[in-house]
Chain A
């Protein structure tokens, strides 16, 4: 081979090798502080991918137009960043994100994502502390506890508080009036007052008594009257939040299936009590819809939640469920969540935006995150029905939020409920998160659809199966 030819070949090979090496280098995880100034000095535009919707955010009419507008506004005011918006519906969002991660093609910013959605990807989130320090992002405006919620788990500060959804008791005034019953208490600690003036503690026993009186068959008889026909119920007294057994359990008290060592599964006693209470409410006492009835077209089949039909008197649910309560009429309000014994718990949902650990442009992603949490925050909170995590912004939020409802809602109850938030949060970390959650959901569905189960045996079997998953 001649020297000229050798040089010519080297002239081709060396730049190619350089390209390959630099390309491989950019695949590595860079520290946030050192990352990316690719856009800064060179004027090059960086693409940031916003991945939605592990929580809310996919509603084509109520949410997507606003989200798209925010993306357009961001791109118009930030020439160094091109933000793209990827919408994957909730049902597919976890699998799709998992596949993107496995393929080494993660998005940069993910949200709105709740605690559960984020825990399904435990260890994949960026610690924001260096970026918070670098940018001078002000965390002092948040409640310290809210900030710490995103610092638990040993991964650093993986989120900044954004939207919170405390639980409240939704109820329909007209159904209470019709039954001649007083409305539930709005202030935590107040008793329930029966029509004869006697007072009862505002707890789940009282809910059951009220629920029976408010469960009515097609002949107009309630569940406490002789001749009541349980097969022809046209109105139910009470409906729990039934999306996930853990959340259902948390209404009776905070807890976690992880006993604390990250290896041993243990069902919290309060959760077991709650599951038995709700199971009996469905299959024995009959003031709660059974699973098949709940899913039918007459109830939740058409409207997501049975309370939205206007034919359920009370329902414990998260603030975000206000998106549908008006469908059943404008006679609704919110009251305090009942206590279980001496413990009052308002299970909490909390959404925010997070940055993936393997984002190639964490600084730019944090710029987007800051925009969402500050400039775009009022619009986003409004479409997500999320109470601002910043206490000073909550009154303004509810003033604006109230405008869509003809009836005056007692939003103070929502704000008060935050003090009874469940710590640890019911959606918190547990080993083998997706598989464990899948098994929990399967048991919840089984209990909702099967009569005559021995709940002690069922709860023991669930715990054993979870332990079996964790032992792998």
Chain B
């Protein structure tokens, strides 16, 4: 007699059932926490978007349909803030992928003496509280700061007004961000060290030089790490908030160039106290981030190489 395969999949042994029970038991704190502090608030904010909830609630609470979404689409400041975020993303995303990868390559090089010291030095800024780091960079990037002093030393007299010029503020933010790429460097180094050495030997035998090895061995094997960094980078850049808040007190100066989407969202929640519209902005951000992430996952099958896959 042939056993029903479906029944075989669903029927568990007493041991398996006991293990599952214990598994759920150990998972339950996280599940409860997820339900209470993530899923339910998310559902609540989605419900907010169809109401007129404010923190002070001067008017009676009521269902307003899609009013908040209509407002969102017609809000010029929302589009400007989204544009600010996109402009910064164009500059930041390549940097957040390339810089840690390049640094990891350097730190992983056999010819580098004292690589452990360099690894510590590059990781060190990551453990400094980021707000403190922002204040530090605020001073370094001021007109009379060290950065301009260094530029002056090498003969550049017309130094940038990093923090008050609409064109220079984005490079300044990228420089501040680079300071915190220590974690990215560690992840890239772990990826590099996971590439089998035999592949480089084989490539060398085939006549591949440094560039050939990088192009045909290193980069293909690093694509999962690059993909991971890219997805995280997209999520981070859409939520970019802390640096402009600390650097410019959330004013958006200069000329609105630092009024990032997430900062505008924050202002609607806590400065204007408009919880409904703030929640609508948050959900719109979620949808955009989700869409970009899905596109990345969709395209990943064409350029991300997993060594274990067939």
Contacts and interface: CB of A to CB of B under 8 A. Distances in A.
A399 B58 CA distance: 47
Interface in B125-163: 142-144, 161, 163
A19 B74 CA distance: 51
A439 B77 contact: yes
Nearest to A443: B256
Interface in B150-206: 161, 163-166
Contact of A449 (B75, B255, B273): B255
Contact of B253 (A297, A298, A435, A445): A445
Nearest to A432: B272
B76 interface: yes
Given A101-B56, A439-B77, A465-B77, A296 B252 contact: no
A434 B269 CA distance: 12
B267 interface: yes
Given A102-B55, A297-B144, A439-B77, A434 B252 contact: no
25 contacts: A94-B271, A95-B270, A95-B271, A98-B270, A98-B273, A291-B164, A292-B164, A292-B165, A292-B254, A296-B161, A297-B143, A297-B144, A301-B143, A434-B271, A434-B272, A435-B268, A435-B271, A438-B267, A442-B251, A442-B252, A445-B251, A446-B255, A449-B165, A450-B166, A450-B255
Interface string A434-467: 1100110110011011100000000001000100
Contacts of A330: none
Contacts, number: 79
Contacts of B71: 472
A468 interface: yes
Interface in A396-432: 432
A453 B256 CA distance: 15
A454 to B, nearest CB: 16
Contacts of A94: 271
A467 to B, nearest CB: 12
B104 interface: no
A377 interface: no
Contacts of B142: 297, 301
Interface of B is mostly: loop
Nearest to B277: A472
Interface of B: 55-56, 58, 71, 74-77, 142-144, 161, 163-166, 249, 251-256, 259, 267-268, 270-274, 277
A133 interface: no
A291 B165 CA distance: 9
B251 A102 contact: no
Which 8 residue pairs spanning A and B have beta carbons closest together?
A449-B255, A102-B55, A297-B143, A295-B164, A435-B272, A292-B164, A449-B254, A446-B255
A435 B55 CA distance: 14
B164 A102 contact: no
A91 interface: yes
A99 interface: yes
A5 to B, nearest CB: 36
A260 B77 CA distance: 26
B255 A291 contact: yes
A155 B254 CA distance: 37
B76 to A, nearest CB: 6
A465 B76 contact: yes
Contacts of A189: none
A417 to B, nearest CB: 30
A441 B77 CA distance: 13
Interface string A196-214: 0000000000000000000
A441 B55 CA distance: 23
A298 B143 contact: yes
